[in-house]
Chains A and B, each alone.
Chain A
Amino acid sequence: MSEKLKLVSQVQAINWNRIQDDKDVDVWNRLVNNFWLPEKVPLSNDVQSWATLTPEEQQLTMRVFAGLTLLDTVQATVGAVSLIPDAITPHEEAVLTNIAFMESVHAKSYSSIFSTLASTKEIDEAFRWSTENVNLQRKASIVTDYYRGDDPLKRKVASTLLESFLFYSGFYLPMYWSSRAKLTNTADLIRLIIRDEAVHGYYIGYKFQRGLESATPERRQEIKDYTFELLFELYENEVQYTHDLYDSVGLAEDVKKFLHYNANKALMNLGYEAMFPSSVTDVSPAILSALSPNADENHDFFSGSGSSYVIGKAVNTEDEDWDF
């Protein structure tokens, strides 16, 4: 690497007994409690299921995971690290090192999936595809350019869009297989990654909003315009990438709904209003319930079909019971 590495200008011993922002402690604790390693997931139980996929479906799956590996590698070695010099508190720096490491765990876990399910030749072919696919390379380079830029707020926007939007063309597929009772252990592993990315997107988006608080109205407008321009640029590229991957299996349209749904959440993590209307975010219910069994609207009193809602049995409540 020829460019000069940007580092925090001055380092002081970090004192966790003097906290400026409680969110740093909350998120640190949450990340530590959520820590996991791919070795804990019994991926080998998916070997039989893998054999039921057609060669085209296997190739698609390999490519999706190779693409996700690239994004996690970018986030681990460039993205999260590039945010450290911009940190407002020393504890934020520490949280970002945790995020960077976890992204490396994510990147490595795809290799665990590969080595469990595929041959060396197939693995090499998937990685070669990832270096040759124009749209995948473009999305990595768009984000990386902003990481290398000199605007801390824009870096956080790029990072949040990566964590909360760019992964989801890939995450769709294991949720799809899971909804059809295929590769269910692989899906369990991906759900752990999905959960981590939610904490990362929430935290970086939160720090972005804190940084924006002291900005002038003009500067706020500039950042908002930039955010939506970047989102559109990434979105257009993402649609093409989705077609590259999913046209062969006829899933591209539902994947695009999933993209819209997650783009909304990325914007909300940055404190902006959701942009895509529900008519284009109505992802197939099977995918949503593969993501979260609670996502089914029929559990809700307002949105469910009234009759399906049953009030639970009364719980006798004493003050001592409120010990969560």
Chain B
Amino acid sequence: MTTLTVEDRATTADPADAGSAEGPVTDASLIYFSSVSDNTHRFVEKLGVRAARMPLLTKEPTLRAAQPYVLVLPTYGGITGQGAVPRQVVKFLNNQQNRSLLRGVIGAGNTNFGETYCLAADIVAAKCNVPVLYRFEVMGTSEDVDRVTRGLEEFWT
């Protein structure tokens, strides 16, 4: 980065850009972000596996993964796909160890968003060279829960 304007500095001060390593350590094999809508949270709860939720606010210290895990995340933003990955997830993945332990991504979304349906999952998967394991809508149906439960079991064996 070269010269900073005042606005740039304000942006850089955003904790999402700092790969903070001070957050709680988790050995869960499923790590997820869910906004206050709790849609993704409800889906993960139904899976019945031990999972760790990222803090709601970007300014809070993020999680640190201790073992290989699968990431579940919703997509933000609109037409262009800019800002598709929630800032909290960006902050989490800025941590090199968190990135290196990532094995796969599951996306939450709504097909109504057309080309940007589950775009955040695609972006993270491409950047980290891991597969998109599954996509589900809103908070997932019982069939989604069954498929992901079975899929994860096979994936880890």
Contact = CB atoms under 8 A, between A and B. Distances in A.
On whether the two chains bind one another, the answer is yes
Interface in B122-138: 122-123, 125-135, 137-138
Query: Residue among A195, A264, A299, A324 with the most chain B CB within 10 A?
Result: A324
B114 A302 contact: no
Interface stretch (B26-34, B47-55, B60-68, B92-100): B92-100
Given A23-B35, A34-B79, A294-B117, A322 B93 contact: yes
A191 B141 CA distance: 24
Contact of B104 (A21, A202, A301, A303): A301
Interface in A192-250: 194-195, 197-198, 202, 206, 209
Contacts of A209: 37-38
Nearest to B18: A319
Contact of B138 (A265, A313, A319): A265
B24 interface: no
A195 B113 contact: yes
Nearest to B56: A22
Given A319-B19, A322-B94, A324-B123, A198 B113 contact: yes
B126 A315 contact: yes
B7 interface: no
B137 A321 contact: no
Contacts of A51: none
B151 interface: yes
Interface in A296-324: 299-303, 309, 311-315, 317, 319-324
B40 to A, nearest CB: 12
Contacts of B77: 30, 33
B84 to A, nearest CB: 7
A314 B133 contact: no
B115 A317 contact: no
Interface stretch (A10-18, A148-156, A266-274): A266-274
B139 A277 contact: no
Contacts of A313: 129
Contacts of A268: 39, 137-139
Contacts of B79: 33-34, 195
A291 B85 CA distance: 22
B32 to A, nearest CB: 16
A34 to B, nearest CB: 5
A302 B143 contact: no
Interface string A39-77: 000000000000000000000000000000000000000
B90 interface: yes
Contact of A319 (B78, B94, B135): B94
Nearest to B130: A311
Contacts of A299: 132, 135
A198 B111 CA distance: 9
Given A194-B112, A292-B115, A311 B129 contact: yes
Contact of B114 (A197, A292, A303, A319): A292
Contacts of B139: 268, 271
A288 interface: yes
Contacts of B112: 194-195, 197-198, 291-292
A298 to B, nearest CB: 11
B86 to A, nearest CB: 9
B83 interface: yes
Contacts of B73: none
30 contacts: A21-B36, A23-B36, A34-B78, A195-B113, A195-B114, A197-B112, A198-B110, A198-B113, A202-B110, A209-B37, A265-B137, A265-B138, A268-B39, A271-B38, A274-B142, A278-B141, A291-B111, A294-B111, A294-B117, A294-B135, A299-B135, A301-B104, A301-B132, A301-B155, A312-B126, A314-B129, A317-B128, A319-B96, A322-B17, A322-B93
Interface of A: 21-23, 26, 30, 33-34, 191, 194-195, 197-198, 202, 206, 209, 264-265, 268-269, 271, 273-274, 277-278, 288, 291-295, 299-303, 309, 311-315, 317, 319-324
Given A268-B138, A300-B135, 6 more contacts: A195-B113, A209-B37, A313-B129, A319-B94, A321-B127, A322-B93
| A-B CB proximity, top 7 nearest | A198-B112, A302-B151, A268-B138, A292-B111, A274-B141, A314-B129, A301-B131
